[in-house]
Structure 1
Amino acid sequence: MSCPIPPNEKARLAALYELALLDTPNEPVFDRITRLATKLLSVPVATVSLMDAKRQWFKARLGLSMREVPRDIAFCAYPVMEAAPLIVEDACKDSRFAQNPLVTESQGIRFYAGIPLKNSQGLVLGTLCVTDTRPRELSEMDFKALLDLADIVTDEIKLRERVVREQKEKEASQRALSKLHHSLEAQIEQRTHELRLVIETAYDGYASIDAHNRVLDWNLAAATMFGWTRDEALGQPISTLMLPDGVPSDAEKAPVTTQATRRDGGLLPVEVRCKSLAFHDRQWRSLFIHDISERQQLERLRDQQAREDVLTKLANRRALDERLPEAMARARRLKKPLAVLFLDLDGFKRVNDNYGHGVGDELLREVAKRLTASARETDFVARWAGDEFVLILEGVEPEAITPLAQKIIRRVEQPLTMGEATLAISTSIGVAMYLPDAPETAQQLVKRADVAMYEAKRAGKAQVRIA
């Protein structure tokens, strides 16, 4: 069979190989997506796949024994080529796939839905797909859920890209420093003037210290970082100027991250690398000090973004998966109950249909604000998916749950005016109580709340049901 090839195939493969995800072990972050996909869409098979030059390789798979298939028979080759979702309701009726061995075999594929997974440059590296052995239609809600799951995988791919890029930059920096060290060892006397110029214009701080840890040299970057001029620093112990505990003992083996002290008493996170030198019975050590405050800030921001819903700025499902087991552990330790509220907006689809997704997004942001305002400081509010939200209430008594949930319903029902339109929605809430002695997992607890929410919808919407 012929295999569709996108016009940017060379760049696409280069980006895929640079990511270094092919032929790697399973990882929980991807396995969790396939589990959620099979549960949310009620399908037997879900995969997170990467499209290599001649094969489709599965990074995560559920309901499928094989680890890869030839690219020329892979359904996912089409969404990779077109960079757009592909839905096949009945493969036997689709001329592209009717004779495909994956379809003609016993219990072969009849239904397929695949979402492209793109990197930060928009190159399609693979797909999130679900399949079934019987024909079926994909509802709009199921399609949105699949898109949401694909967005989570895409965010993880982009995070891996940044990590790879930062690692390369770090390695390049280390190679440059190593080259400078060799230069110092080989030409310390012959090229004193050139060395002084390099040190003075270096971005990193540099200090040379003797056997008693007193400063022999101090460059401009060090003066800027720590507030001591070169004349003030010369002859002073390094512990007085920036490293109260002295030079880290492992700094000669590899860069060491530590907290340095500035002249004004402030702390500065730095990476310290040390090199011992000897010449004509004279011994000293060269210290290279790199300010990593910006890098740490970026790492904190990256960690926050990985756990934050982009649209509403609430915690996302990944953050909820981390927070709920911790909250359950506290409930067991403190012997206090815990409640999970699962909310689904009533009438949200009508808003999207009548006013467009832009208005729908603004409505979701407003609902997020109202839920946050309704919660206590110790409560946890997360966006589950689409127009679904989850609240974790710790230390709450059972009799207080219903009044609190009804208060949330009233607040969500308050009309929202956007331009000439007045939007009115409500919410259905399912509640699951967790008692400290209950043998229940976090996933089971959320599932109970989800089921109770659907009972509230069937009861007429804008209702509260306790599991």
Structure 2
Amino acid sequence: MSHLLPPNETARLAALNELDLLDTPNEPVFDRITRLVTVLLGVPKSTISLIDTDRQWFKSQVGMEFSESPRDMAFCAYTVLEDEPLVVEDAQSDERFATNPIVTKPGGIRFYAGIPLRNSHGLVLGSLCAMDTQPRQLTPQEQAAMQDLADIVIGEIHLRERLINEQKIRAATQQSLTALHQSLEQRIEQRTRELNLVIESAYDAYLSIDAQGRVLDWNRAAESMFGWSRKDALTRPLTSLMFPQGLTCDDAAMPLTCDAIRRDGVRLPVEVRLKSFEVNGRPRRSVFIHDITERQQLERLRDQQAREDVLTRLPNRRALDERLPEAMARVRRTLAPLVVLFLDLDGFKRINDQHGHGMGDELLREVAQRLQNAVRETDFIARWAGDEFVVLLEGVTTEALEPLANKLIQVIEEPLHVGSATLRVSTSIGVALFVPNAAETPQELLKRADDAMYNAKRAGKARVALARPADTPNPL
């Protein structure tokens, strides 16, 4: 195994373990990437692999029967070793892998492409992999697409590193402040200089208030965070500085999350920690305030990305799974009609085969934009998978339904000119109507629309097919 160890192995393993990704459950942010790899490259297998001491472990996988394998059998071990993308067009012709059990077994790996996944210090922790049981070549466009997807994974790794580093800083600061609090009452006079030094250099805003909530101390971080100088803040009540509603009178075991008001009127999301003490028998309170703006922005961004298709920027399947039950509940309450359109592009595979996946991606983005322009602003469009889309129409009359569906066929059939190429596709549409008294789940409603779409394809494509009613059994 020593011949497969990079020179920075010790630092690499330490960084991997600190990231705390090994042996953790699946996460949508990673599973989206492996699914996209299989769709964009047309391969049956894709993984996000992390190389541990003696094993390869999959944080996400598509098409694999196991979650880990020995490191000395892993193609990704060479990606980590060589610190650059690795493409093996035919593993049986490569002396490094020709005798590998995962190559020689029936249906074994013949093609492999791996993109290194680096942390913020450039250490390769694993790779984004695409695999096939048949030999093949990787086009420059496909490698660029894999690199783009790997960059998304790398961005998530860097984000987690920043969060871990922030937690370390906060934990270290809190540990120091907690230690000071434990001895503050008995040694307040002796520790004044040391306490002032810690407070003045702290990342968090610190202030001390009396029983009436008037400021007795105000550090530099508070000046920077709220825009009030120490001179302006001293003796003023908190209600006139940043907390118009005041603060709780009790010490909280957990941080309080609330909005503070800066001097310029801007609202600032913060976490507040309170600690009561006495000085010469007089009650005092220490207030530590941490700005959580960046953390909330990161959380909102991650939440948005979890519900958005990377390629088309439409809502993804997860977003549809959340929206459809809500729409069905509104139908039962308001009795307004709900229609589900299931669209599948006709001729899309031919576009990929003739012009490449990059051109296919451009077509999917254009189709998504055309669909958005063709329906109402209140309607909901999601990318289901590959070249399939789902449209939810609420409050549409049955008379308007067929013209709208035919309009969608027409706008998709309009040719798309990209450079010297002219791309043409059509679409088959399955239509399912949801009625208030139907005992039907969202999955069953989508299945009816999907079945109707396949009926449209069998009937000649580029047409609309209506699904059978929910309470009608399948015909024999």
Identical residues among aligned pairs (%): 51
Distance 1:62 1:347 in 2: 23
Distance 2:310 2:38 in 1: 24
By how many angstroms is 1:280 displaced? 3.6
Aligned match of 2:432: 433
Aligned match of 2:167: 170
After TM superposition, the structure 1 = structure 2 runs for residues 145-184 of structure 1, keeping only pairs within 5 Å, are 155=152, 158-159=155-156, 161-180=158-177, 182=179
Letter in 1 for 2:304: Q
TM-score under structure 1 normalisation? 0.73
Q: In the superposition, relative to structure 1, how do residues 10 and 379 fare at CA in structure 2: closer, same or farther (>3 Å)?
A: farther
Q: Secondary structure at the match of 2:344?
A: strand
1:79-125 residue CA offsets vs partner (Å, 9 max, x unmatched): 6667446576xx889876675555777xx544566664753548362
By how many angstroms is 1:258 displaced? 1.2
Aligned match of 2:268: 268
Q: In the superposition, relative to structure 1, how do residues 66 and 361 fare at CA in structure 2: closer, same or farther (>3 Å)?
A: closer
Aligned match of 2:259: 259
Distance 2:326 2:253 in 1: 38
Q: In the superposition, relative to structure 1, how do residues 26 and 381 fare at CA in structure 2: closer, same or farther (>3 Å)?
A: closer
Aligned match of 1:287: 287
Equivalent residues of 1:271, 1:289 under 8 A apart: yes
By how many angstroms is 1:196 displaced? 5.3
By how many angstroms is 1:172 displaced? 0.9
Distance 2:165 2:268 in 1: 24
Equivalent residues of 1:85, 1:114 under 8 A apart: yes
Q: Unaligned 5+ residue runs, structure 2?
A: 468-476
Q: In the superposition, relative to structure 1, how do residues 158 and 339 fare at CA in structure 2: closer, same or farther (>3 Å)?
A: same
After TM superposition, the structure 1 = structure 2 runs for residues 263-342 of structure 1, keeping only pairs within 5 Å, are 266-335=266-335, 336-342=337-343
Question: For structure 1, which segment, 316-325 or 281-290, has the greater mean C-alpha deviation from structure 2 after superposition?
Answer: 316-325
Aligned match of 2:379: 379
Distance 1:219 1:191 in 2: 17
Distance 1:298 1:346 in 2: 39
Distance 2:328 2:391 in 1: 13
By how many angstroms is 1:371 displaced? 1.6
Distance 2:135 2:363 in 1: 28
Equivalent residues of 1:79, 1:86 under 8 A apart: no
Distance 2:329 2:391 in 1: 17
Q: CA RMSD in A?
A: 4.8
Equivalent residues of 1:118, 1:126 under 8 A apart: yes
Aligned match of 1:394: 394
Aligned match of 2:117: 119
Question: For structure 1, which segment, 292-301 or 41-50, has the greater mean C-alpha deviation from structure 2 after superposition?
Answer: 41-50
Distance 1:347 1:25 in 2: 34
By how many angstroms is 1:426 displaced? 2.8
Aligned match of 1:205: 205
Distance 1:333 1:455 in 2: 31
Distance 2:307 2:89 in 1: 30
By how many angstroms is 1:391 displaced? 2.5
By how many angstroms is 1:339 displaced? 0.3
By how many angstroms is 1:287 displaced? 1.0
Q: Secondary structure at the match of 2:402?
A: helix
1:203-225 residue CA offsets vs partner (Å, 9 max, x unmatched): 53322112333322234543554
Distance 1:438 1:94 in 2: 57
After TM superposition, the structure 1 = structure 2 runs for residues 214-229 of structure 1, keeping only pairs within 5 Å, are 214-223=214-223, 225-226=225-226, 228=228
By how many angstroms is 1:463 displaced? 3.2
Q: Secondary structure at the match of 2:126?
A: strand
Distance 1:174 1:162 in 2: 18
After TM superposition, the structure 1 = structure 2 runs for residues 235-250 of structure 1, keeping only pairs within 5 Å, are 235-248=235-248
By how many angstroms is 1:259 displaced? 1.7
Distance 1:358 1:45 in 2: 20
Aligned match of 1:343: 344
Q: In the superposition, relative to structure 1, how do residues 261 and 10 fare at CA in structure 2: closer, same or farther (>3 Å)?
A: same
Distance 1:293 1:287 in 2: 18
Question: For structure 1, which segment, 190-199 or 424-433, has the greater mean C-alpha deviation from structure 2 after superposition?
Answer: 190-199
Distance 1:298 1:203 in 2: 19
Question: For structure 1, which segment, 20-29 or 334-343, has the greater mean C-alpha deviation from structure 2 after superposition?
Answer: 20-29
Letter in 1 for 2:300: R
By how many angstroms is 1:380 displaced? 1.9
Letter in 2 for 1:189: E
Equivalent residues of 1:30, 1:153 under 8 A apart: no
Equivalent residues of 1:2, 1:72 under 8 A apart: no
Aligned match of 1:408: 408
By how many angstroms is 1:157 displaced? 7.1
Equivalent residues of 2:430, 2:452 under 8 A apart: yes
Question: For structure 1, which segment, 381-390 or 265-274, has the greater mean C-alpha deviation from structure 2 after superposition?
Answer: 381-390
Letter in 2 for 1:176: T
Aligned match of 2:20: 20
Distance 2:352 2:131 in 1: 28
1:220-263 residue CA offsets vs partner (Å, 9 max, x unmatched): 54355445554554334323433344334675534322122445
1:256-281 residue CA offsets vs partner (Å, 9 max, x unmatched): 22122445665321111223333443
Question: For structure 1, which segment, 96-105 or 328-337, has the greater mean C-alpha deviation from structure 2 after superposition?
Answer: 96-105
Q: In the superposition, relative to structure 1, how do residues 130 and 272 fare at CA in structure 2: closer, same or farther (>3 Å)?
A: same
Distance 1:387 1:72 in 2: 38
Aligned match of 1:366: 366
Q: Unaligned 5+ residue runs, structure 1?
A: none
TM-score under structure 2 normalisation? 0.72
